[in-house]
């Protein structure tokens, strides 16, 4: 996997400190390094959030260790304030920030592109174009960082991080460095002075930072990761980076256009190697810029082409801005085939229209949409059932602010469309804090927010503190399923062990909330009756923030080991279907994938492959036909 390659590259570079916060598609990098932490003498931690993760990694660098910090694209926003200051000062030991991004939002709520941070905060950006480069460039990123003494960002995307290919491995270093933080010299002595971001130091620090950037550019001019393939005078020059290189190559292979089209693949995308680009922009009038995310390369290359207009001549640009490629979503070889053919006036068809028409017809008739859903036995299904019914019974148009995790699906049919606002990590609680203060403007709706246990530590605590201090009228429901479930059960500060399995002190969410002097209740989402009563009571007890912690491990959690709590069965005599009056509550509304409505027998039945035996459906069936 691309992520394994990045982890290997870091090991070959001799990385010492590894930090991160889990997020698809980045999580495997830290997980893989955690596995070899002992034998490779690494310190690996899952930090509370990305900002702290970057600070912990920076501490490693300032103590002259090689450090790496890993996150998904949205994490870079969380870390951005620290990133700005780290980049302004520079680094001591090599410091690499790995951002794994998700064009097409395959498992994200956004298509965030962190590349502009490199330009905005003036540090180098590397984008590997295949699996071998993922390994080689991860290693090189540390060398570059130590060469220019600043942070380097390595950007991957889902189709590299979560794809696999052949990689030739290198040697692992043997040296064991000693950590120490030196502060004996003056503040501008980067390796030996105190590290201070003072207003009076900004001018010299910024000048030093820009020198590092021009040093990087000089190195990039000769980098083997920037490579041109194609004729000396092509009809079309394609400039690309990242895994898009593979899409372009495949498109050119299929179209047989390697003799007419040139490909400049860039591995170093900020600062741009301006001489190399000047040389290649000069060989062709038509330039096609291929990238995912924002038009980052496109804008920067256009600016460079304008600057060098005298030398390279007037160009016609194609890319995401003029519609040659769609402006959003991820790319693929087919979109490249279409784009290249549009520019060159060629055409291509592999599968006949007749086959395509037949396929479309069959899809329409026979492939119902497979929407995402909570797993069978997921505690969130029960939690949202409870919150949804409590808000309905309360009958004051109350609503739920959501957050990021599996429980984001609470906005969809499997969560009974209970979540009405869903944005960033921690923002459900923050917004609930705001809504809960609008009574003075006549707002009377009850406000609830949900978050998971990992999210609680990551970003909810400051928002909850805000609500408590400002006496916001709202209820926070913590869906504690004992781990960072969505990304693969990484531990968090509430877990008994860390990334490498060592036992660590557990931070108790209930105790933390109690220390805020607000009403805190505990509940089990599988105890529908008891928890519903608590929830309704909390809804009536308005005026201040209240917290309800619903504790039940994830159905897939290693803690549960696939054990069923109950062996579910149906009493066919009691399931009356249309005669019951329940209108198939179990399947039509509750929708657990462990249940099947047998349309022949007109009875519910248990899917023995999928059912995990949580027993909740037995409490939902009004006829008591489902037995636990």
Partner 1 sequence: MGKKLSCDPYNLIIAGVGGQGNVLASRVVGDMMIHQGYKVTIGETFGASQRGGSVMSHLRISARGGFSPQMPKGKAHMVVALEPMEAIRVLATYGNPKVKALCNTRPIQSVGVICGDQIYPEKKHIIQWIESLCANAGFFDTTKQALDLGDSIFGNIMALGALAATGDLPMPLNIFKTVISKKVVPAKIATNLKAFGIGMELIKDKK
Question: Which residues are near partner 1 by CB under 8 A?
Answer: 24-25, 106-107, 130-131, 158-160, 162-166, 243, 246-247, 249-251, 254, 332-334, 337, 350-352, 355, 358-360, 362-363, 365-375, 406, 409, 413-414, 556, 584, 587-589, 591-593, 595-597, 607-610
| Beta bridge pairs of residue 268 | 126
Helix (H) or strand (E) holding 288: strand 286-290
Backbone angles phi, psi at 541, to 5 degrees: -90, 60
User: Which of 532/584 has CB closer to partner 1?
Assistant: 584
Q: In angstroms, rounded to a whole number, what is the distance separating the alpha carbons of residues 255 and 358? A: 25
Closer of 227 and 469 to partner 1 (Cβ) = 227
Q: Which is nearer to partner 1, 210 or 362 (CB)?
A: 362
Residue 550 Cβ vs partner 1, minimum distance, rounded to whole Å:
19
Using CA atoms, how far apart are residues 208 and 588, in angstroms rounded to an integer? Answer: 64
Least separation in angstroms between residue 417's CB and partner 1 is 13
- Residue (18 or 592) nearer to partner 1, CB: 592
Q: Which of 617, 603, 614, 607 is nearest to 571 (CA)?
A: 603
Q: Which residues pair with 604 in a beta bridge?
A: 597
For the bound state, the minimum distance from the C-beta of residue 233 to partner 1, rounded and expressed in Å, comes to 25
User: Which residues in 40-70 are b (16+ Cβ under 10 Å) and which e?
Assistant: bebbbbbbbbbbbbbbbbbebbbbbbbbbbb
Which residue lies nearer to partner 1 by CB, 188 or 569? 569
Nearest to 57 by CA among 163, 123, 153: 153
> Please, which residue, 395 or 583, has the CB nearer to partner 1?
583
CB of 457 to partner 1, least distance (A): 22
Order the strands of the 399-401 sheet from edge to edge: 419-421, 399-401, 447-452, 475-480, 546-551, 519-523
CA distance 234 to 226: 18
Q: How far is the CB of 617 from partner 1 (least distance, A)?
A: 12
> H or E stretch including 114?
none
Smallest distance, Å, CB 337 to partner 1?
A: 7
CB of 250 to partner 1, least distance (A): 4
How near is the Cβ of 202 to partner 1 at its closest, in Å? 41
Report phi then psi at 51, rounded to 5. -65, -45
DSSP 81-101: HHHHHHHHH--SS-EEEEEEE
Distance of CA 415 to the CA centre of its chain: 22
Name every residue whose Cβ is closer than 8 Å to that of residue 524 and which is 6 or more positions away in sequence: 530, 531, 550, 551, 552
- 434 HSE (CA, 13 A, CB side): 8
Between 88 and 133, CB nearer to partner 1? 133
Considering the complex, state which of residue 122 and residue 136 has its C-beta at the smaller distance from partner 1: 136
CA 37, 43, 45, 50 torsion: positive or negative?
Answer: negative
| Nearer CB in complex with partner 1: 518/596 | 596
The nearer residue to partner 1, 31 or 130, going by C-beta atoms, is 130
Distance CA 126, CA 134 (A): 10
Smaller CB separation from partner 1, 496 or 501: 501
The H or E element containing residue 606 is strand 603-606
Measured between alpha carbons, how far is 332 from 247 in angstroms, rounded to an integer? 6
Q: How far is the CB of 368 from partner 1 (least distance, A)?
A: 4
Q: Minimal distance in Å, beta carbon 248 to partner 1?
A: 9
Q: What minimum distance in Å lies between the beta carbon of 595 and partner 1?
A: 7
The smaller minimum CB distance to partner 1, of residues 127 and 146, is found at 127
Separation of alpha carbons 6 and 70, rounded Å: 10
d(CA 405, CA 479) in angstroms, rounded, equals 10
Q: What angle do CA 152, 218, 76 make, to 5 degrees?
A: 20
Neighbours of 376 (CB within 10 A): 20
Least distance in angstroms from the C-beta of 359 to partner 1: 4
């Amino acid at each position: 996997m691309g992520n394994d390659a990045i982890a290997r590259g870091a090991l070959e570079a001799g990385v010492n400190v590894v930090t991160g916060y889990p997020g698809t598609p980045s999580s495997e990098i830290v997980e893989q390094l955690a596995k070899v932490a002992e034998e490779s003498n690494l310190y690996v931690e899952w930090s509370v959030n990305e900002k702290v993760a970057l600070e912990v990694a920076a501490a490693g660098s300032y103590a002259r260790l090689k450090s790496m910090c890993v996150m998904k694209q949205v994490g870079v926003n969380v870390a951005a304030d620290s990133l700005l200051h780290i980049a302004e000062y520079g680094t001591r030991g090599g410091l690499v920030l790995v951002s794994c991004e998700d064009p097409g939002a395959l498992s994200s709520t956004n298509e965030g592109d962190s590349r502009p941070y490199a330009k905005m905060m003036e540090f180098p950006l590397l984008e590997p174009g295949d699996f071998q480069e993922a390994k080689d460039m991860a290693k090189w990123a540390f060398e570059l960082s130590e060469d220019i003494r600043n942070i380097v960002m390595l950007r991957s995307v889902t189709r590299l991080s979560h794809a696999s290919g052949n990689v030739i491995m290198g040697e692992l270093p043997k040296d064991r460095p000693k950590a120490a933080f030196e502060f004996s010299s003056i503040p501008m002595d980067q390796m030996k002075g105190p590290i201070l971001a003072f207003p009076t130091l900004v001018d010299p620090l910024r000048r030093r930072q820009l020198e590092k950037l021009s040093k990087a550019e000089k190195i990039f001019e000769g980098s083997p990761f920037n490579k041109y393939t194609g004729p000396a005078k092509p009809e079309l020059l394609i400039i690309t980076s990242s895994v898009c290189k593979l899409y372009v190559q495949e498109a050119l292979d299929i179209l047989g256009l390697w003799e007419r089209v040139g490909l400049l693949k860039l591995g170093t995308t900020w600062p741009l190697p301006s001489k190399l680009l000047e040389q290649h922009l000069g060989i062709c009038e038509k330039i096609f810029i291929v990238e995912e995310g924002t038009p980052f390369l496109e804008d920067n290359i256009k600016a460079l082409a304008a600057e060098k207009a005298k030398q390279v001549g007037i160009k016609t640009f194609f890319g995401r801005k003029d519609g040659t490629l769609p402006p959003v979503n991820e790319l693929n070889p087919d979109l490249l085939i279409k784009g290249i053919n549009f520019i060159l006036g060629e055409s291509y068809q592999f599968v006949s229209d007749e086959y395509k028409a037949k396929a479309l017809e069959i899809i329409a008739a026979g492939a119902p949409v497979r929407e995402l859903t909570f797993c069978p036995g997921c505690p969130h299904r029960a939690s949202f059932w409870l919150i949804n019914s409590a808000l309905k019974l309360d009958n004051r148009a109350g609503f739920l602010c959501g957050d990021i995790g599996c429980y984001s699906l609470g906005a969809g049919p499997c969560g009974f469309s209970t979540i009405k606002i869903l944005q960033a990590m921690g923002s459900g609680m923050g917004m609930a804090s705001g809504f809960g203060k609008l009574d003075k403007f006549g707002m009377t709706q009850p406000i609830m927010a949900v978050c998971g246990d990992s999210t609680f530590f990551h970003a909810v605590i400051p928002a909850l503190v805000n609500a408590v201090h400002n006496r916001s009228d709202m209820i926070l429901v913590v869906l504690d399923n004992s781990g960072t479930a969505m990304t693969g059960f990484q531990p968090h500060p509430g877990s008994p062990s860390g990334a490498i399995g060592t036992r660590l002190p557990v931070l108790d969410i209930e105790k933390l909330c109690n220390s805020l002097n607000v009403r805190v209740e505990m509940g089990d989402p599988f105890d529908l009756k008891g928890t519903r009563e608590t929830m309704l009571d909390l809804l009536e007890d308005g005026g201040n923030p209240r917290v309800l912690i619903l504790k039940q491990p994830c159905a897939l959690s290693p803690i549960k080991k696939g054990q069923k709590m109950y062996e579910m069965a149906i009493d066919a005599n009691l399931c009356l279907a249309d005669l019951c009056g329940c209108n198939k509550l179990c399947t039509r509304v509750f929708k657990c994938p462990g249940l099947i409505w047998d349309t022949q027998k007109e009875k519910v039945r248990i899917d023995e492959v999928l059912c995990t035996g949580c027993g909740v459906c037995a409490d939902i069936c009004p006829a008591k036909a489902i037995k636990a």
